[in-house]
């Protein structure tokens, strides 16, 4: 786990290659999809079926403090989940030997299939909502900050704050009620072997 600053993928993941400046990983995760019971605005819309997503991620340290990353995820069961591409730039500020702060910005892109399933409204498919067929492209940007501090050689405390905003057709979708989202999280991690 290192200091807690390595890439974190949801689901089952494996590191394919790793060096001083570069890492490449792959992961599989279940995308639970969506149905009309998730929110009142979704009643009458077709369900987005659960599927299995495969993701390949790469990161490169430009300097000891600056890094870039990208990840491509694809619905591998062919259940209309489509594809997503995420990109990021990060800056690590070593406050002390035990504490680091990471600032990051990112952008997410998706194909027509993904955006149609998550932000589209088929003609005549959802009561009063107008039909909407989103195109592929940029759909979200985000910025955040993570603080990680080693309490001792085994325990690490973590905190994060993030803001994200929908863009383009995702923002214009009649299904979008609030285009800006916020999250705050705290955690405690244990490193067993170091």
Using the predicted structure, report yes or no on whether residue 56 has a pLDDT greater than 80.
Answer: yes
C-beta atoms surrounding 13 within 10 Å? 16
Given the DSSP bridges, would you call strands 99-110 and 155-166 parallel, antiparallel or unpaired? unpaired
C-beta atoms surrounding 10 within 10 Å? 11
User: What's the mean per-residue pLDDT of the chain?
Assistant: 89
With beta carbons less than 8 A apart as the criterion, state whether 27 and 9 touch: yes
Domain 12-73+87-190 sits in CATH at 2.40.160
Looking at 2-6, 72-76, 137-141, which range is the least confident one?
2-6
Break the chain into its structural domains and give their ranges: 12-73+87-190
Among 30-39, 127-136, 171-180, top mean pLDDT goes to 171-180
Q: What is the pLDDT of residue 178?
A: 94
Among the listed residues 105, 96, 123, the one whose alpha carbon sits nearest the alpha carbon of residue 68:
105
How far is 109 from 73, CA to CA, in rounded Å?
A: 11
Among the listed residues 119, 120, 68, the one whose alpha carbon sits nearest the alpha carbon of residue 91:
68
Token pair for residue 57?
A: 């991620």
Token pair for residue 168?
A: 């383009």
How far is 142 from 119, CA to CA, in rounded Å?
A: 18
Q: What is the pLDDT of residue 127?
A: 65
Token pair for residue 153?
A: 């050689």
Among the listed residues 179, 192, 191, 194, the one whose alpha carbon sits nearest the alpha carbon of residue 148:
191
Q: Which residue has the higher pLDDT, 34 or 112?
A: 112
Question: DSSP alpha helices (H): ranges in 79-150?
Answer: 112-119
Using the predicted structure, report yes or no on whether residue 1 has a pLDDT greater than 60.
Answer: no
pTM of this structure: 0.85
């Amino acid at each position: 786990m290192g200091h807690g600053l390595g890439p974190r993928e949801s689901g089952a993941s494996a590191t394919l290659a790793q060096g001083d400046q570069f890492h490449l990983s792959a992961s599989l995760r279940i995308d639970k999809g969506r149905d009309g019971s998730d929110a009142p605005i979704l009643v009458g819309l077709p369900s987005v079926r659960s599927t299995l997503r495969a993701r390949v991620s790469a990161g490169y340290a430009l300097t000891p403090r600056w890094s870039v990353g990208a990840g491509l995820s694809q619905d591998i069961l062919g259940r209309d989940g489509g594809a997503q591409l995420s990109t990021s730039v990060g800056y690590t500020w070593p406050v002390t030997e035990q504490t680091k702060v990471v600032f990051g910005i990112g952008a997410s892109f998706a194909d027509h299939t993904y955006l149609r399933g998550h932000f589209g409204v088929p003609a005549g498919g959802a009561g009063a909502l107008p039909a909407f067929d989103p195109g592929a492209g940029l759909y979200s940007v985000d910025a955040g900050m993570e603080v990680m501090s080693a309490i001792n050689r085994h325990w690490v405390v973590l905190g994060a704050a993030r803001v994200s905003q929908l863009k383009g057709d995702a923002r214009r979708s009649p299904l979008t009620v609030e285009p800006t989202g916020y999250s705050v999280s705290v955690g405690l991690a244990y490193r067993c072997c170091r």
